[in-house]
Structure 1
Amino acid sequence: MQSWRISRGARRRPSALSCGHTSARCSSRAGASGTRNPVGPRDAAGLSRGPVISAPEEAAVAMIVRKGTVPSTPHTEFYAIPNVLAREEIHGSYGFSGAWSRKVHVRFYPTEQVKPPRKGELTLEPDFPSEADILQPYHIRTGRMPFEGDALSSRKAIVHGPRTSISVSKPKQSMPTDTFFRNGERHEVYFVQDGQGVVGSEYGDLKFRKDVYVAIPKGTTYRVDLTSPKAWFLLVESIYPITFAPHYLNKEGQATLMSPVVETEIETPELQPFQDKRGEFPIDVKHSGGKITRITLGHHPFDLAGWEGALYPFVFDIKSHHGIAREIHTAPPMHQTFQSGNVPHSGFSLCSFVPVMAGWHPREVPAPYAHFNVDSDELMFFCNAFYGAREGVVEEGSFTFHPGSTPHSPQGNAAQRSLAARGKVQARLAVMLDTYFESMRITKAGFAYRDPEYVLSWSENIPHAQPAGEGWESPSA
């Protein structure tokens, strides 16, 4: 049973999805505004990484989705099974002042463990190469990383920072039956480069496919099952919730008519019949910088009669980011889809470079300018090789890491070649992330798949592969 309730709220943090949805009911759960830390955390050398703002301050109405059966009044007596009192759980963020969801377990609290916790069989702690102490840009060829294991065991961090981490996972099998994962320290968003399957959680099933984002809030218990022989994920983690950019939303939480995203194009979980099962159900919990602890519940964790709230997993297709074009070159913020933290003071912006018409000014240079954003590290994943500014250098699955301390630009004669592309649609597809006041480091896994010649690729004396031409000249995507 679902209904709508729309009301207006005070200034508050945007929810995990601060927007409306046709199968949801909207409400203004009041919350506190962000607080400022004027100094911010320090790095290993004791240097400040800039101010940290705990949460965005834009006005927004929380987007609340209801699935299954829940009591209309929170924390009241409820029975999903006759004569068995249901157990209520709050999954929250920012203490008790951020977005949250209310979950109704049919019989047990989620705290019931039947074995002492133990060290997990794997670790997700990043390891860094000493060779990476030299400042330089990197090109990591993730397409050459092997397919192996499942979505958890194949996860490899390629760049890592104090508040943000980026990994690649290339599984060729589902997670073992009745085993689960929970990221207890960071929110996640997967980008699916290839493959299809289901992310199952206590909230329900989310089907994924090529070219979609799957956002999973910190603390969600889930598993990944493949329906294809293999899959390929780019995974971004953040200590802050990952949301649509608040400047795309009006004060009611709707996407404005000028926004490149439409909030009704998200896909929410399909709640499955509750699993009222006893047994041993292991959950690998990530915490404390990538350590894994295995806890064992005595009941199946997908035991909800229903849930409602503003903190939940969802799918968003990159093709549902409707690119904005203008007469001259558009800077990267025009392509923003998500953000995490209080941009531009902390966290990151995540941009979707979808096929869009290049500028049509009669003297437009479609290739971007060289840029030197000293407060941001730029990280970019190329879904195909048709990216004009990098054609002949990148390949499918290329991941570039440009530290904020160094400028970067198109390679070789890309600017000259781009002149023929005025007013034409580019065939590019890429995911870009800019951090704010956070220095990232390449890991050993990323370093092992680097292109050692990349730092020299801007020299016009260095031969590049012949461009296919589709980055600038293709009239369609």
Structure 2
Amino acid sequence: MESFIQLRKGTTPRRMHADLEGLKDDELGRYGFVGRSAHLYHRNDPTDFRAEGRLAGVDLMTTGLEPTDLADPAGTPVLMFSNEDCRISLSRRAEAHPFYVRNVDSDELHFVHEGTGRFVTEFGPLTYRPGDYVYIPKATTYRIEPDGGGEPGCRLVIEATEEFRVPEPGVLGRHFPFDPALITIPEAEPVEDDGREEYEVRLYHSGETTSLFYPHDPCDVEGWRGDNFPFTFNIEDHDVLGSESMHLPPTVHLFLQATGVYVMHFLPRRAEMRPGTERFPWYHRNVDFDEIAFYHGGNVFGQKMPPGLISHAPQGVHHGAPEKARERARRRFDEFDRVEWKIIAVDTRRRLTPSPEVLAAAIQPDPEVAL
């Protein structure tokens, strides 16, 4: 249970996540970053270990993955990670779907890393561009029409078996975590028949497919109303919260959540400016959640982020920026007043299982370099 009692033993800094004087700040926290916690101040880097086994974690460049939708319009995204609550996949679709699709198991949240185009839905069309989230409610009929004349795009696809919803605003008010006036909602636009005899809607369910064939285009909707609909929202329109004197935990940047699944992001913002404050997230071993980080781009204190890198940190295993990066940020504190990273993060309550494709493409660590 939570407690107001905060104990101190041994040598500890006066301020949280600041003035470490050579110690290494490591959080052992429950329920992400909102439950009971202990901060352990190590002499040495707690991520300096070699891992073997299922909880070793995995990093990979998604540019090396080849989902079947890359070469085949009828193909699908490649599964990367999964558990009972969600599936995280990668799409590099180059051509339009030859049929409509309908996910009857899950809500879908697509993050557009590269490419432009549109989702044709029964609610109307939704155009997309890099930096867009595209939300597709469970069992919505749609198909994707990429621009680019056969050049592949790239989308991170997050499926949740329970519906995605906006987190409770709390003291931040009703416009947290984003202004709903800035989402794009489709206008009804019925799709005209093009003369074919049948129109296929391919249902995806439990790893199988079922095809429905209509004598008319199923996106023939003249109008709609209600509060269950697809939309897009671009990360450029997100109002980022920050602090001058403390690095805020990632849950402050929560975007959407479903049962056991939390989608958030690290976006460009003003850096912490009070001298002595640590600008990187502290070391932690997120006891109750697995963490996925997908690098969209940007840079951190002059160091370029690798676009397309995805990293999996299993719960209970130390992770965090390497000590060399932390030392560099401290040394060059006065040179930078902003953090320009763009990272999409997914935390899951249940452990994620990497797919065989991910394990085959994983970046192998140098045995001479600490993880």
Consecutive unaligned residues in structure 2, runs of 5 or more: 1-30, 32-51
1:155 and 1:456, CA in 2 relative to 1: closer, same or farther beyond 3 A? farther
Deviation track 1:64-100 (CA, whole Å, cap 9, x = no partner) reads: xxxxxxxxxxxxxxxxxxxxxxxxxxxxxxxxxxxxx
Q: TM-score, normalised by structure 2?
A: 0.78
Per the alignment, in what secondary structure is the counterpart of residue 233 of structure 1? strand
Query: Does 2:357 align with 1:445?
Result: yes
Give the Cα separation in 2 of the matches to 1:432 and 1:409: 14
The code of the aligned residue for 2:198 comes to E
1:236 aligns with: 158
1:321 aligns with: 238
Give the Cα separation in 1 of the matches to 2:228 and 2:122: 12
The code of the aligned residue for 1:294 comes to S
2:320 aligns with: 409
Structural mapping, 1:372-391, within 5 Å: 372-384=285-297, 386-387=299-300
Deviation track 1:103-154 (CA, whole Å, cap 9, x = no partner) reads: xxxxxxxxxxxxxxxxxxxxxxxxxxxxx96320110210222472367614
Q: CA deviation at 1:450?
A: 0.7
The code of the aligned residue for 1:339 comes to Q
The code of the aligned residue for 1:192 comes to V
Per the alignment, in what secondary structure is the counterpart of residue 297 of structure 2? coil
8 Å CA contact 1:152, 1:169 repeated in 2: no
Give the Cα separation in 1 of the matches to 2:131 and 2:221: 30
2:204 aligns with: 286
State which of 307, 310, 314 in structure 1 corresponds to 2:224. 307
Structural mapping, 1:76-155, within 5 Å: 134-146=54-66, 148-149=70-71, 153-155=75-77
Give the Cα separation in 1 of the matches to 2:248 and 2:367: 26
Identity of aligned residues (%): 25
The code of the aligned residue for 1:397 comes to G
8 Å CA contact 2:103, 2:139 repeated in 1: yes
State which of 175, 187, 200 in structure 1 corresponds to 2:120. 200
For the aligned residue pairs, the C-alpha RMSD in angstroms reads 2.5
Q: TM-score, normalised by structure 1?
A: 0.61
Q: CA deviation at 1:366?
A: 0.5
8 Å CA contact 1:192, 1:210 repeated in 2: yes
Give the Cα separation in 2 of the matches to 1:135 and 1:455: 17
Q: CA deviation at 1:412?
A: 3.9
Higher RCO (CA < 8 A, seq sep 6+) = 2
1:163 aligns with: 85
Give the Cα separation in 1 of the matches to 2:212 and 2:166: 33
8 Å CA contact 1:151, 1:224 repeated in 2: no
Matched residue pairs, number? 313
Query: Does 2:275 align with 1:362?
Result: yes
Q: CA deviation at 1:357?
A: 1.2
8 Å CA contact 2:298, 2:340 repeated in 1: no
Consecutive unaligned residues in structure 1, runs of 5 or more: 1-50, 52-131, 342-346, 460-477
Give the Cα separation in 2 of the matches to 1:388 and 1:403: 27
